A and B are shown apart, each in its own frame.
Chain A
Amino acid sequence: MTYLEIFWSFFRIGLFSFGGGYAMVTMIRHETVVLYNWISATEFVDLIAISEMTPGPIGINSATFIGYQVAGVPGSLIATVAVVLPSLLIVSILTYAFVRLQSNAVMARVLQVLRPVVISLIVAAAIVVLPSAITGPGTAVIGVVCLGLLHFTRVSPLLVLAGAGVAGVIFLR
């Protein structure tokens, strides 16, 4: 029954986590710490720290980690599939409908308003990350140099990330 509980719990987490990222943390904590007691409150803080330092969405990170703690490798697999499944179903259906309606005149008008709003969403995301990322002159310089490279040259974003990590070791230690 543990497998089933893991599945439903992480399916719920995937289903109700609008906003992604940190918006998910509250939901994950409620399910796994408060409701099911799968990990302790301290372990949960460790998990968030690990999630920050490893790539990938926090939802998948926590599903894999907690699933393993509760029921080994099968548990981690079940939790990961469960947390992704709602996205897969909902976005697939939305995309299907979207592609069908795309050439529609009304839809074209809606998209005209929606596209600038998407830009505001992205800028808002940058503003959210800003205070914890730019903490002094050193990090500010790294940020500005990276933005210059990304905007004016064709350097790969991956190279920029790697370079920033190296710069951190050299200048920020």
Chain B
Amino acid sequence: MPEQQPRTGLLQSEESRSGQQGREQQQATQQPRPAFLCRTLFWTFLKVGAFTFGGGYAMIPLIRQELVAGRQLMSDDDFVDALAVVQCSPGAVAINTAVFVGQKLAGIAGALSATLGAAIPSFLILLIIAMALGRAAPGKTLEAIFAGVRPAVVALIASAALKLSRSAIRSRVDLGVAVLGLLALSVLRVHPAIVITGAIVTGLALSGATRLAARRRQNDVS
């Protein structure tokens, strides 16, 4: 399946980098090769899989850094869209993001490479633990490590929201929508799938209303 050109990603790389990376740049400005993409996807999501502590959202800054800021394979808009699709589907956030990003950039092969990368670390680690399971309770040091990592996880998630809000929230109306969504999720505890469906229906209704208004204006003129 031919992927669509990321809206800003590849073009930016031409302006913002210089000199030394000339050769890489040429490779990037042309369509990256599928095999190269699959390898990139595999390694990116291997890293993501190995460091996803505290639920899938904490890995958003990591994926964004790799795909949007680093290799510029996607734009921020594309990335936010990915998160929307991911939330509508069952399964782990990390795996679903891998499938979406892989599929969008390099088709089925990309989806498989990214998923494999995301799943391998936890598979290997849990297999080793299951094989070696001595019933030793976790030590004080290990507990302290996790006590330190947990606030970092909150910081990671908050920074993802801050960074992505720059492209996702562009007007006061957008901000209002975001606040409404947050109220529904955090205060009213509405299921995320329902909140997303609500947003989709609202969008459809708005676009219908715009069309209707346009048609009416046309009728008035003629």
Given known A120-B182, A173-B140, contact A54–B129 (CB-CB < 8 A): yes
CB-CB contacts below 8 Å: A146-166 with B: 146-147, 149-151, 156-158, 160-161, 163-166
Interface size counted on chain B using CB atoms at 8 A: 105
Asked if B185 contacts A68 (CB within 8 A), the reply is: no
A120 to B200, CA, bound (A): 15
How many Å from the CB of A93 to the closest CB on chain B?
9
CB-CB contacts below 8 Å: B155-193 with A: 155-165, 167-169, 174-175, 177-182, 184-186, 191-193
Q: B residues engaging A (CB < 8 A)?
A: 1, 3-4, 47, 49-57, 60-62, 65, 77, 80-81, 83-96, 99-100, 103-104, 108, 111-112, 115, 119, 121-123, 125-127, 129-131, 138, 140-142, 144-165, 167-169, 174-175, 177-182, 184-186, 191-193, 195-196, 199-200, 202-204, 206-207, 210
Q: Is the interface of A mostly helix, strand, loop or mixed?
A: helix
Residue pairs across A and B with Cβ atoms less than 8 A apart, 14 shown, are: A56-B126, A64-B127, A90-B91, A94-B89, A106-B207, A110-B199, A114-B203, A115-B169, A119-B169, A121-B185, A121-B196, A123-B182, A146-B156, A161-B53
Asked if B56 contacts A21 (CB within 8 A), the reply is: yes
A171 to B149, CA, bound (A): 12
| Chain B, Cβ-Cβ closest to A109 | B207
Asked if B55 contacts A21 (CB within 8 A), the reply is: yes
Given known A50-B129, A55-B125, contact A90–B103 (CB-CB < 8 A): no
Given known A95-B104, A119-B178, A169-B145, contact A58–B151 (CB-CB < 8 A): no
| Chain A, Cβ-Cβ closest to B95 | A87
Asked if B152 contacts A142 (CB within 8 A), the reply is: yes
How many Å from the CB of B47 to the closest CB on chain A?
7
Asked if A133 contacts B80 (CB within 8 A), the reply is: no
| Chain B, Cβ-Cβ closest to A89 | B99
Residue in contact with B203 in the complex, picked from A103, A111, A158, CB distance below 8 Å? A111
| Chain B, Cβ-Cβ closest to A120 | B181
Asked if B192 contacts A115 (CB within 8 A), the reply is: no
A143 to B152, CA, bound (A): 5
